Copies of this chain bind each other. A is one copy, B any other.
Amino acid sequence: MISTRGRYALRVLIDLAEHRNGSYIPMKDIADRQDISLKYLERIVPVLTKSGLIEGVHGKGGGYRLVLSPEKCIVGDVLRLTEGDLAPVACLAKDAKPCARAAECRTLDMWKKFNSLINDFFDGITIADLMKSSPAAENYII
């Protein structure tokens, strides 16, 4: 289940992309437009700044700006950053302790394939894909 952290982060990036004009956009504007608590956004957004996806400047006239173009901004990266992990089961999480039953596990292979499916799906979508009427993964071949 993708939590509000990941979903809100995506909406912030889409908003930044759609209102992109070179200047900085205050998070308060985005919070108002997206109808999300400003305080909560302030807790979510720093991870995007630290990873270099967006940049923020303090003070009057400040705010946030996309660093990458929307075409280069991968949804999978955003979700992995904000959600911590996209692993569908505990044993595939990045901090998981090795499972003693792995060798005999009948389901591990399925979880691994599902894990790849998830990551590949979101790595195939960019913020640019989500702008406008968002055909999104329209061209994802299934």
**In this assembly, does A21 line the interface, its C-beta being within 8 Å of a C-beta of chain B?**
no
- With contact pairs A1-B88, A2-B88, A142-B142 given, residues A136 and B109 touching in the complex (Cβ less than 8 Å): yes
Structural contact, B90 and A109, CB atoms closer than 8 A: no
Q: Chain A: interface residue count, which band?
A: 35 or more
Main SS of the interface on chain A? helix
**In this assembly, does A75 line the interface, its C-beta being within 8 Å of a C-beta of chain B?**
yes
Structural contact, B134 and A89, CB atoms closer than 8 A: no
- In the assembled complex, the Cα of A137 lies from the Cα of B101 at a distance in Å of 20
Task: Please list the residues of chain A having a beta carbon within 8 angstroms of any beta carbon in chain B.
Answer: 1-2, 7, 10-11, 14, 35, 75, 87-90, 101, 106-111, 113-114, 117-118, 120-122, 125, 130-132, 134-138, 140-142
